[in-house]
Amino acid sequence: MGGSWLDFIAGELRQARLRAGLSQEDLAKLINYSASHVSGVETGQRPPKADYLAAMDQAMETGGMFGRLLDRAVLIEGVPGWMRGWVDDERKADLLRWYEPAYIPGILQTEAYARLTLADNLSRSEQLEQQVASRLGRQVILTGQHPCQLVAVLDVMVLRRPLRGHAELMGQQLAHLVKMAELPHVQILVVPEEAGLYPALQGGFILATLGDGSVVAYLDQQVRAQMMHRTEDIVVLQRHWEAVRGEALSRRQSLDLIKEAACSWT
């Protein structure tokens, strides 16, 4: 696995066993797995699965630590190295302001929509599944105990763009969008067709406000996205944000439009 988070977990599992003074055979009996399974996990030949880690957490009385490490591994392993700093900031954000002219924002995607938008001929199936799991894992910031506030502005064409002919999947995605839009900490606003050409149509971006009041940005580009921290860049993007939000319908009008679009796909 080459220095991955799963390697780290495997090492921590081995250290926990050694601290407990257990051989692999002893541990295997304790958690009801074979000794070869324990050995395979510790040497990286078997990926640590959720049920195995749950058994380890119970046996070692770790309070769920290994399960949490796996959640983190799933999140990070499907994220390119250059994006991991953003993922950390996203998880710490109190407020996300997200403008998207082309797709449903990743934080609001269903599994089927995420899979279709991530799929390409260059990705191996295991890479695709890892990326999908990572994207879905990031959505916990909206559903956890202390959810992040989200204000998303979408161009109306996002609601009308088909998923390679999968009309039923687009209908399911928009039904999910309606469900998310009804959460008290989520606003989804739509820029209607009547707005014509307006600022920022050339690409989506996200502004994350952190706990200390600082703002970082994530800007979509063709090859890779870019994180921005410079004050002058943030100021420009905040101006774009105010401009696109000014073109958007109200929260209630936007929700009605999303519901109308959802019905059109069924």
Per-residue pLDDT of the chain (266 residues; tens, 9 = 90+): 344 667 788 889 999 999 999 999 999 999 999 999 999 999 888 877 778 999 999 999 999 888 888 777 766 666 666 677 788 888 889 999 999 999 999 999 999 999 888 886 445 666 787 788 878 888 888 987 889 999 999 999 999 988 877 888 999 999 999 999 999 999 999 999 999 888 888 889 999 999 999 999 998 765 566 888 899 999 999 999 999 999 999 999 999 999 999 999 87
Give start and end residues of each alpha helix (H) in the chain: 5-19, 24-31, 35-42, 50-60, 65-77, 84-92, 111-118, 125-138, 140-143, 157-160, 167-181, 231-247, 251-264
pLDDT at 75: 63
- Give this prediction's pTM: 0.72
Q: β-strands 186-191, 205-209: how paired?
A: unpaired
